[in-house]
Amino acid sequence: MAVTTGTRRTPRGTADRPWLGQWNSTVTSYYLLVGATGLLLVIGLVMVLSSSTVTSIAAGESPFAAFLVQARFALIGLPLMVIAARLPVRWYKGLAWPAMLVALGLLVAVPFVGKLVNGNRNWLELGPIQFQPSELAKLALAVWLGAVLGRKQHLLGSWVQALVPGALGLGAVLGLVMAGHDLGTALILALLGLGAYWVSGAPVSMLGLGAVSAALFVGWTFIVNQDSTDRLTRILATYGTCTDEQGECYQSIHGMYGLGTGGIFGVGLGASREKWKYLPEAHNDFIYSVIGEELGLLGTLLVLALFAVLGVAMARVVRRHQDPFVKITTAAIGCWVVGQAFVNIGVVIGVLPVIGVPLPLVSAGGSALVTTMLALGVVISFARSEPGAAEALAARRSVVRRSVAVLGRRRRRAGGERTGR
């Protein structure tokens, strides 16, 4: 049943609750994505500046060194995100296979010519440019899975159709990332693949088998592999057997110190004590701890709420869009970005072991920042193509242009009257 208002019909109850009409608007997903992304980006730049000044000065650099690097990558990512948000869906379908092949080629090169950083060989250097191919692989894999699984969605009841080529491509990317001993990124890729397959309608039994296989693989990596002693130590440190406060659990303990010191309102922006070289990776993997110390519980809840908004907005795109490619790709990107955020926060609060996963849009890191902004630009493009969204956005832009034109005429008229006097 509907309530008639003039010539426009609105859902029952919307006339009495205007906020419900706004929530059901065709452009709600678009504005939620743009707003949450922009706020997280601003918070990230501010917190990178605050948390990196001391270590930059100690290294003999400008106190703004890390901030300027992060700001430069944000300026690179912003036009890329805008361009990605304006591209039509058909472009991404056409780019799926080329992007996947390029990502695989870069990952193959990493074990041979990659740079070793913090025990992980997952960086490539091309002249002055240094980047992580695994970050680019996340976006390429999400778009590729959307194209592959979306095209054969009606056949996914068959295990063979579901596994070939989707699971083979996912396995290839995971294997190449693990060749560089980057378990954190591999876990995020597994979440990405799970989200894509879940929304595609793949058999539940296959998803269950995949989850069990992933758990066994992680166990083998942590426990059986002779090179994973440090990772095993991190697990034991997280789940209550750590006794060496200056050794394996030093970082986790100081991360908790930062969160505990902040209280509800924090000690003030820039006033963190843990960033004075007590907390390793204060501007990177453990930046959430500095947020808790300087901005308090309210600051951490704000960041958490913004990631929840991103998750809700992407869930709306999945639910409201009609194209299977868009649904699957959005689900994959959502599990990547929001899942990585919750993994990072889980590490900082001591629920998960330290695995070196940054907080998307907030932690320092050029490759991760640009790729995440580009991925969110892709989802914003999908939100713009929701049924009725393009027309609504065009109508709102025309209203803004008319309003600006009216204001301009009024100012000119007022200026002419003052001159006449």
pLDDT tens digits, one per residue of 331-386:
999 999 999 999 999 989 888 888 889 999 999 988 999 999 999 999 999 999 88
Alpha carbon distances (Å) from 286 to 102, 105, 290, 343, 344: 31, 31, 7, 12, 8
Q: Is the pLDDT of residue 320 over 80?
A: yes
- Predicted confidence band at 120 (pLDDT cuts at 50, 70, 90)? low
Q: Answer whether the bond into residue 360 is a cis peptide, omega within 30°.
A: no
pLDDT of residue 33: 96
Mean pLDDT across the chain: 82
Residue carrying structure tokens 């007590």: 278
pLDDT of residue 118: 64
Burial of 404 (0-12, 13-18, 19+ CB in 10 A): exposed
Least confident of 128-132, 146-150, 281-285: 128-132
The string over 188-221, giving b where at least 16 C-beta atoms fall within 10 Å of a residue's C-beta and e elsewhere, is bbbbbbbbbbebbbbeeebeeebeeebeeeeeeb
What is the rounded average pLDDT of the residues 300-327? 94
Tokens of 267: 């000690």
pTM equals 0.86
Q: Are 146 and 196 in contact (CB under 8 A)?
A: yes
Q: Which of 121-135, 216-230, 310-324 has the highest mean pLDDT?
A: 310-324
pLDDT of residue 411: 59
pLDDT tens digits, one per residue of 237-258:
555 556 555 556 777 788 888 8
Least confident of 30-39, 114-123, 128-137, 197-206: 114-123
What is the rounded average pLDDT of the residues 280-298? 92
Give the integer Cα–Cα distance in Å for 87 and 100.
19
Closest of 134, 34, 42, 94 to residue 379, by C-alpha: 34
pLDDT of residue 5: 38
pLDDT of residue 371: 96
Q: Is the pLDDT of residue 261 over 50?
A: yes
pLDDT of residue 9: 47
Closest of 19, 362, 335, 3 to residue 192, by C-alpha: 335
pLDDT of residue 60: 85
Closest of 103, 177, 114 to residue 142, by C-alpha: 103
pLDDT tens digits, one per residue of 386-420:
877 777 777 766 555 555 545 555 555 655 555 55
Q: Is the pLDDT of residue 180 over 90?
A: no
Q: Are 359 and 181 in contact (CB under 8 A)?
A: no
Please give the backbone phi and psi of residue 117, each rounded to the nearest 5 degrees, phi first: -130, 120
Q: Is the pLDDT of residue 156 over 50?
A: yes
Q: Is the pLDDT of residue 271 over 80?
A: yes
Q: Is the pLDDT of residue 1 over 60?
A: no
